[in-house]
Structure 1
């Protein structure tokens, strides 16, 4: 259970870090750039803690799947970026995949 808390922390930190990318202006604005790298380092540190008991492939699938959904929502609500129907369908499939892993996989470390 503790590993899943680290995984959720890693996901949140990575989403916040990735959300700061546009503000870095291709890493030319120093404050958001430093924040980005600090948050990303903390995300990877948390992911490293999570994979002590969660298999790497499972942890990464969950991390990237939930991250994609949250970043897509961030792009939509904060940066006013639109998603077309194929993108939305793809994101739904990602959510389904993450649910299948968590609900049915014996390797998910439950």
Structure 2
């Protein structure tokens, strides 16, 4: 498999998962929030978001490299990611949890590197 074929496949699948809900907007499959189609679309979007967050937080390190080079700041990142997830799940508000985690991270980063 060439790199261009892999890039084309990735682009097509990423576009398909983003465009699929619009193609079925009037369908009863998307209005049933407990249906398997709705859950599949929702989980795939959440999985893509999880990959983006992991890549950003841990500088695209694989799990073995992360474990080998684990630092206090990485533990804080994991703690804040889990804490933000729990806060958003309980309060259903994203921005306050995000800004609180951001403030904690910036403070800890300044303290550890200052």
The TM-score bracket by the shorter chain reads: 0.3 to 0.5
Bigger Rg over Cα: 2
Q: What TM-score does the superposition give when structure 2 sets the normalisation length?
A: 0.37
Relative contact order, higher structure (CA 8 A, sep 6+): 1
Q: What TM-score does the superposition give when structure 1 sets the normalisation length?
A: 0.38
